[in-house]
């Protein structure tokens, strides 16, 4: 029903910014909270940001210290994530997710996932 395809990963210089995108099919943008997660090698998947359905509220992982910005383009069915002042600790596979907002965790439950895109931050 929903397919998510991430792109934009690659090598980023420390101190710069990263930008990844997610093209969604199906009803992702009309029936789901959309968000981003990341998984650092050797660590569990971590919530990054979400754009809540249906009100469009943006929720961020406070641990990112305001460095992330989530946005979307409904006409292109594309979700975006930008992060500035990146460091090697931001090196991870970034996953796009469609799912449900979780008020208890201020995060989301992913029901659909993309395959991820690798972002590597050089020091």
The model's pLDDT over 53-102, given as tens digits with 9 standing for 90+, comes to 999 999 999 999 999 999 999 999 999 999 999 999 999 999 999 999 99
User: Mean pLDDT over all residues of the chain?
Assistant: 96
Which whole number is the average pLDDT over 1-30? 93
* Pairing assessment for the beta strands 92-102 and 33-39 based on DSSP bridges: antiparallel
- Number of Cβ within a 10 Å radius of residue 27: 11
State the Rg of the chain over Cα.
13
3-state secondary structure 26-66: CCHHHHCEEEEEEECCCCCCEEEEEECCCCCCEEECHHHCC
CA angle 60, 62, 56 (to 5 degrees): 20
* pLDDT for position 1: 79
**In the predicted model, is pLDDT for residue 30 greater than 90?**
no
Please say whether the beta carbons of 68 and 48 come within 8 A.
Answer: yes
């Amino acid at each position: 029903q929903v397919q998510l395809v991430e792109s934009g990963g690659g090598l980023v210089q420390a101190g710069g910014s990263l930008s990844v995108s997610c093209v969604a099919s199906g009803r992702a943008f009309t029936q789901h909270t959309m968000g981003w997660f990341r998984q650092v090698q050797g660590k569990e998947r971590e919530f990054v940001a979400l754009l809540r359905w249906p009100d469009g509220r943006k929720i961020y992982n406070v641990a990112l210290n305001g460095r992330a910005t989530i946005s979307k383009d409904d006409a292109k069915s594309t979700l975006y994530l930008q992060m500035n002042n990146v460091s090697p600790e931001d090196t991870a596979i970034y996953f796009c997710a469609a799912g449900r907002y979780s008020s208890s965790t201020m995060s989301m439950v992913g029901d659909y996932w993309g395959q991820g895109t690798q972002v590597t931050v050089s020091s």
